[in-house]
Amino acid sequence: MTSTPQAAGGSSLVVSAMGVSLRLVVDDAELAGVLHGRLQDITSPDAGVPDGRITVAGCGPWHIASVGHSETATTAGAALAAALTAVNLSFVASTKMLAAHAAVVSRAGVVVALAAASQTGKSTLTATLVKRCGWTYHSDEALILPWVDGVPHAYPRPLSLSPWSVEQVGAAGVFDGGETHVTGASLGASSSDVPGKVALLVLVERDDAADGPRIESVSGSEGVAALTKRSFTHFLNPGAMLTTYASLCSHAEVIRLTVGAPSATADALHQYASTRKPR
């Protein structure tokens, strides 16, 4: 972790992901320490001119400001949540890479992308795969590609888990009053670059009537549709997005995973992926 003491007693650090670097300046020394701990996996050497800046001014209330967004938090937990959100939104708004909402994890070199709508249980499944099954954590936010079907970029920001998810996973982290922010390291995951191209694209779905996890093969075009729907930088080059996702879904296996209980779902996917080969 690289931090620089500031005159006001706080600190600053540079975080990098998605080809974007941001300087985070925090007045409150205690909050700065917590943020540094949560962001340790994306902290970069303090060199060069960052692409953006996020400030957390004050020691209560806290004023969080980034390009295009500012808010005031009245509790330390809310300030933590707002600062982490500002970091994430700044990355998402600034990246020039092809990015789609999805988690990325790997096991034995097999890279798996989990694409899901919100409230489907993606983060809980991701955390369970890492904690319970020993997978490597690369991202819980985005599948980030360099506009070709290449090796994804890692974005190991902390996972934000609900109290229910924390209990299911058995995770430990920093509670902000609503969610608990859990680092990959605290789940036992080594933080590393993604080891290869996506070999398995998992379309994660929830069916409350299902009595357990279910895995089924789906067409590559369903995979393209799912990634296209969840892409947030497609407008930069829609044609390149299409050819990139089409190539990925032609070469990777695409499956639908209907989730059940987190541990059973993780076990099912773990077993399935164990028979696959890296790309």
Q: Which of 22, 224, 255, 259 binds other proteins (CB under 8 A)?
A: 224
Q: Which of these ranges, 6-14, 30-38, 89-97, 237-245, lies near other proteins under the rule CB under 8 A?
A: 237-245
> Which residues inside 90-149 make contact with other proteins, applying CB under 8 A?
none
Toward other proteins, which CB reaches closer, 164 or 229? 229
d(CA 122, CA 183): 16
* The one among 220, 252, 268, 269 contacting other proteins by CB under 8 A: 220
Cα separation, 39 vs 157, in Å, equals: 6
| Least distance in angstroms from the C-beta of 244 to other proteins | 9
Q: Which candidate, 141, 48, 57, places its Cα nearest to that of 93?
A: 141
87 and 22 Cβ atoms separated by less than 8 Å: yes
Q: Should residue 197 be labelled a site residue for other proteins when binding is judged by CB under 8 A? A: no
Is position 247 an interface residue for other proteins (rule: CB under 8 A)?
yes
Is 241 a residue that touches other proteins (CB under 8 A)?
yes
**Does 185 participate in binding other proteins (rule CB under 8 A)?**
no
Select the residue interacting with other proteins from 133, 243, 267, 270 (CB under 8 A): 243
Binding of other proteins by 238 (CB under 8 A): yes
Q: Which of 102, 110, 166, 249 contacts other proteins by CB under 8 A?
A: 249
Could you give phi then psi for residue 188, rounded to 5 degrees? 95, 10
Q: Exposed e or buried b for every residue in 125-141, given b needs 16+ CB within 10 A?
A: bbbbbbbbbebbbbbbb
Question: Where do contacts with other proteins occur on this chain (CB under 8 A)?
Answer: 219-221, 223-225, 228, 234-235, 238-239, 241-243, 245-247, 249-250
